[in-house]
Amino acid sequence: MKSSKDEPKHPATIRPTLRRDLPALKAMIDANGLFPSEMLDDMVSSFFTGGAGTEQWLTVDDGGPVAVAYYVPERMTQGTWNLLLIAVHPDRQGQGQGTALLRHIEQALGADGERLLLVQTSGLESFGRTRTFYRSRGYAEEARIRDFYQAGEDKVIFRKVLNQPVV
């Protein structure tokens, strides 16, 4: 039997992000307090113009955007990717949307032969739920850079192996 964290209570469609999604995604980012939502325009611009090549933006659509993820290959590595943003609208958190989106990314990268997915988050106490989310989905804390984001706010890096060798 699958737990509620394994399967969304309200299944939705995971699809590439569209330009028309931006207002809803900005509202979601504001609701989560992740970063100033006006930064999203610059972050996603190369994706819409095709200039970034392999960067990926995905949106969970359930009658409108309810979650978003942004991940990119790590430069100068073979098969290592960074999940730089994943967010679920606060009204939809705890319903499995974030887990479904994370699993979708892991499966897509794994199917392409990619090796590792790294996730970065804050070490602040207010991000404890976020760190628990990653740990409970098989991510291990790999590194902590003290005072990275600002004095007193560490950067915590989680790692998950995507393609385990068959023994």
Query: Does the pLDDT value for residue 3 go beyond 60?
Result: no
User: Within a domain: residue 119?
Assistant: yes
CATH number at residue 94: 3.40.630.30
Average pLDDT over residues 97-121: 95
The tally of domains found in the chain comes to 1
Model confidence pLDDT, tens digit, residues 23-73: 999 999 999 888 888 889 888 988 888 765 688 999 998 889 999 999 999
Q: How many residues does the chain have?
A: 167
How far CA 142 is from CA of 9, 13, 78, 135, in Å, comes to 31, 31, 18, 11
User: Within a domain: residue 1?
Assistant: no
Q: What is the mean pLDDT of the chain?
A: 88
DSSP 114: -
Q: Which two tokens mark 108?
A: 């897509």
pLDDT: is 109 or 36 the higher one?
A: 109
Residue 70: its pLDDT value, please? 93
User: Within a domain: residue 69?
Assistant: yes
In this prediction the pTM is: 0.86
